Structure 1
């Protein structure tokens, strides 16, 4: 079970890398699903989210008996599965245009995270209520955190420009 965190980190990294490359440009025309976001804003936010995912995997791997570490990790697993469907899959269907992150969401996040969750169920490490509640809480927290991270990314980007002008 100790190596499962590595697979989660690989999936979230590749997914967030796909988004980092293509989502800022895509967001310029995708107002229904994503406010327009600059590359610097998005890159800041996606790096922080990725690091939080890594931290959750690390904490669960090294402190598996800690309930909070376990709940945050399984919440991340579930949230990344849902993220592949909402907004990526929905946006692609509704807009009839590829939403960046869909391929890695479907080919990596859903199968890898589902495998990890299934393994945790088979080893009696989690129960359905933990998965559902953790996914909802972590998903809501991440959803609320993203606009804050965009704002911080914009602020840091503006500070960088001000420093360069001086």
Structure 2
């Protein structure tokens, strides 16, 4: 299972790079889905979230018997699948304009994360209830972090630039 979860890091890194390149500019015309966000504050937030993904993955790899490590990773996997659909796919449909992150979400996040989750089920290490709860908890935590990360990113960049 260890080598599979490394694929998650590959997928989330490319997904977040795609967002970092195009989402700040896109956010200026996507007021229904995203308040305009400056590059610097977005970069800070996306680096922080990506770092959390790496930490959760390494925590699982170094402590594979840890229930907490497993469910944090599974929550991250599930949250990123949901993130592809809401807001990326939904924004693309409603705005009739490509939402950055959709391509890597569909081509990488959904298939890789779904396959890893499937393997957890195949190994009898996961139930649907645990998948739902871990996705809900981790996803909720990540969503609640984002506005604060934007504020901290804005503050930090003003201090240095």
Give the TM-score, by structure 2 length. 0.98
**Residue aligned with 2:2, SS:** coil
Q: Residue in 1 aligned with 2:158?
A: 158
Q: Residue in 2 aligned with 1:3?
A: 3
CA shift, 1:155, in A, is 0.2
Q: Residue in 1 aligned with 2:32?
A: 32
Q: 1:11-160 counterparts in 2 under 5 A?
A: 11-160=11-160
- Distance (whole Å) between structure 1 residues aligned to residue 115 and residue 57 of structure 2: 15
- Distance (whole Å) between structure 1 residues aligned to residue 65 and residue 156 of structure 2: 38
| Aligned-residue CA RMSD (Å) | 0.6
Superposed CA deviations along residues 62-108 of structure 1, whole A, max 9, x for unmatched, are 11111111110000000000000000000000000000000000000
- Distance (whole Å) between structure 2 residues aligned to residue 151 and residue 98 of structure 1: 26
- Distance (whole Å) between structure 1 residues aligned to residue 116 and residue 49 of structure 2: 20
In structure 2, runs of 5+ residues without a counterpart are none
Q: Which runs of 4+ in 1 moved over 6 A?
A: none
Asked if structure 2 preserves the Cα contact closer than 8 Å seen for 1:27 and 1:34, the reply is yes
**Range that drifts further, 121-130 or 13-22:** 121-130
CA shift, 1:128, in A, is 1.0
**Residue aligned with 1:3, SS:** helix
Asked if structure 2 preserves the Cα contact closer than 8 Å seen for 1:5 and 1:58, the reply is no
Aligned length: 161
CA shift, 1:152, in A, is 0.5
Give the TM-score, by structure 1 length. 0.96
Larger radius of gyration between Structure 1 and Structure 2: 1
CA shift, 1:157, in A, is 1.0
